[in-house]
Amino acid sequence: MIVGRFPSSRPRRLRRNENIRRLVRETKLTLDDLIYPIFVRFGENIVEEVPSMPGVYRYSVDKVVDAVKEVRDLGIPAIILFGIPEHKDEVGSDTWSEEGIIQRALRKIKREVPDIYVITDVCFCEYTSHGHCGVLHEQDVDNDLTLENLKKQVVSHAENGADMVAPSGMMDGMVKAIREALDDAGFKHIPIMAYSAKFASAFYGPFREAAQSAPAFGDRRTYQMDPANSREALKEVFMDIEEGADVVMVKPALAYLDVISKVKENVLVPVCAYNVSGEYSLIKAAGKMGWIDEKKVMWETLLSIKRAGADMIITYFAKDVAQMINRGEV
C-alpha cells in the first residue's frame, strides 16, 4: 500500500467541517442496528426501575405493551425478552409452560404490537431455583439433559409468537438440538441467534440483579467461555453455524472487540454483539457523577462495537440512541 507523505498528503483536508466528515465517515450507527432488551416479571401493574441500571425497568405483563410501543415508535426494529417468573424450580419448567411469563408476554405483545420483531432469550438461569443454566447433576449443569428441556422451551416460544429464538446457555450441541426441535414442530422459518461466544464475565452483575438470576452457588465457568480465549471463540462460532445458527453473537462487547472483529472476518452470517449491563451501568454511573459526557461516551462506545464488525447490537442504550438519531443530534 502506498501512502502519501506530508506536505502533499494532508488528512486534515477531509476533517475541516461536519459536511466533509459526514461524507468520508466509514462507520455509521443507525436505528437498524439496535435491539432493545426488555425484562418481564410476574405480578400486575408493575413498572419498577432496576437499581443498578438507571433507566431500565422490569414490567409486569399488563404493562409491557406500553414499553414495547415506545420502542416501536422510536423506530427500533426489535426487542429481546427476558422473563422473571413467580415460581422457580429445579429445572426451570416455567420456560415451557403455556402460562409461563414469556409465553404470556409473547401473546400480548404480538396481539397488540404485531409489527415489532420479538426475539426470546432461551435459557434457564432466571427460572431455576439454583440459578444455573440447566439441569443440575452433582453441582454442575448436565449438558445433554438440558438440551431436552431447551427443545421444549423453544417450541413453546415459537408456538406463542416468537420471531427468533436466542439460546444463551452455552450448552454443547444446543443449536443442533434447537434447530431439529423447531423443524420437527413445523417452525422451519424461525431463525436462531446463538450466543456463540459468551464469556464468563464480571460485566454481567447488574443483569443478574435485573433478572434475579445469580447462581445460588459456584459460578458458570464450566459452560461459559474463559475470557482469555479468542481462538476458542471462533471454534464455538463455527460449530454453531454448522449446527444451523442464522446469527452468531459475542457477549460482552467492549472487552471483546477483538473477538467481534475476528468473528466478522471469518463468517458469512450476521454478527450480533451484546453491550451488556455492566458496560451500561459503568457509563451511567460515571455520567451521573459528572466525570464523563454520558451521551458522547455512549455513542462512541456503540460506534466502536459497530466498527469492530457487529451487524446488530443488543443494548440498554437503544432508546437513548434512537432519540439522538431522531432528533438529528448525530
- Give the alpha-carbon dihedral of 121, 79, 116, 246, to 10 degrees: -60
SS3 content of the chain, % helix, strand, coil (to 5): 45, 20, 40
| pTM as predicted | 0.95
The question of whether 198 is a catalytic residue gets the answer yes
Instruction: List Cα–Cα distances, 71 to 41, 84, 330, in angstroms.
Output: 18, 20, 19
Confidence at residue 211, expressed as pLDDT on a 0 to 100 scale: 66
End-to-end CA distance of the chain: 33
What is the C-alpha to C-alpha distance for residues 197 and 170, in angstroms, rounded to an integer?
8
Instruction: List Cα–Cα distances, 90 to 162, 217, 247, in angstroms.
Output: 25, 14, 30
Confidence at residue 217, expressed as pLDDT on a 0 to 100 scale: 67
C-alpha cell at 150: 431447551
CB under 8 Å to 59, separation ≥6 — which residues?
Answer: 38, 39, 40, 41, 46, 47, 66, 67
Place of cell 467481534: 260
Confidence at residue 140, expressed as pLDDT on a 0 to 100 scale: 86
Average pLDDT of every residue of the chain: 94
- Of 143-152, 207-216, 235-244, 295-304, the least confident: 207-216
The question of whether 235 is a catalytic residue gets the answer no
**Given the residues 88, 198, 306, 319, the one annotated as active site:** 198
Where residue 177 falls among pLDDT bands split at 50, 70, 90?
very high
**Given the residues 251, 262, 284, 306, the one annotated as active site:** 251
What is the C-alpha to C-alpha distance for residues 178 and 155, in angstroms, rounded to an integer?
8
Confidence at residue 209, expressed as pLDDT on a 0 to 100 scale: 83
**What's the pLDDT tens digit per position in 19-39?**
999 999 999 999 999 999 999
Helix (H, G, I), strand (E, B) or coil at 311: coil
Name the H helices within 160-293.
174-184, 205-211, 231-243, 257-266, 277-289
Where residue 4 falls among pLDDT bands split at 50, 70, 90?
confident
Which is higher by pLDDT, 139 or 260?
Answer: 260
**What's the pLDDT tens digit per position in 201-253?**
999 988 878 766 667 665 778 889 999 999 999 999 999 999 999 999 999 99
Confidence at residue 216, expressed as pLDDT on a 0 to 100 scale: 67
**What's the pLDDT tens digit per position in 104-122?**
999 999 999 999 999 999 9
